[in-house]
Amino acid sequence: MTAPRHDLTPLEARTLVLDVLRTVSPGPALDALGPHDDLRDALGLDSLDFLAVVTRVSERTGRRIDEDDYDGLADLDGWVGLLTTSDPAL
């Protein structure tokens, strides 16, 4: 298991999310994904897939991701924004 990270750069955050997405939805659609593309639509993620992404990102970063955060996690930029801001729980 990877040690939790709390100090991600935007590039590290994007890479981490893409790595996690590859485990849930591998394929060519991921390579063409833009920063504002809706992840559920572009990758065909259902609710369980999305929860798997949330869980895996949380495990890899040590960051708690609440349901209140979900609306902002529709695209890569939303994930990068969440993972590069200070976690108030720290």
Q: What is the CATH number of the domain that holds 38?
A: 1.10.1200.10
Q: Does a structural domain hold residue 30?
A: yes
* The pLDDT of residue 86 is above 80: no
**Structural domain count of the chain:** 1
Question: Nearest Cα to 79, choosing from 13, 33, 21, 7?
Answer: 13
Q: Does a structural domain hold residue 5?
A: no
* The pLDDT of residue 89 is above 70: no
Quick check: 54 and 20 in contact, CB under 8 A?
Answer: no
pLDDT of residue 37: 96
Q: How many beta carbons lie within 10 A of that of residue 66, not counting itself?
A: 9
Q: Over the stretch 44-70, which tens digit does the pLDDT of each residue have?
A: 999 999 999 999 999 999 999 999 999
Q: What is residue 42's three-state secondary structure? A: helix
Provide the domain limits for residue 31: 10-84
Instruction: Please report the sign of the dihedral spanned by the C-alpha atoms of residue 25, residue 29, residue 31, residue 36.
Output: negative
Q: Does a structural domain hold residue 14?
A: yes
Q: Over the stretch 3-54, which tens digit does the pLDDT of each residue have?
A: 555 679 999 999 999 999 999 998 888 888 999 999 999 999 999 999 999 9
Classify residue 34 as exposed, middle or buried by CB count within 10 Å of its CB (0-12, 13-18, 19+).
Answer: exposed
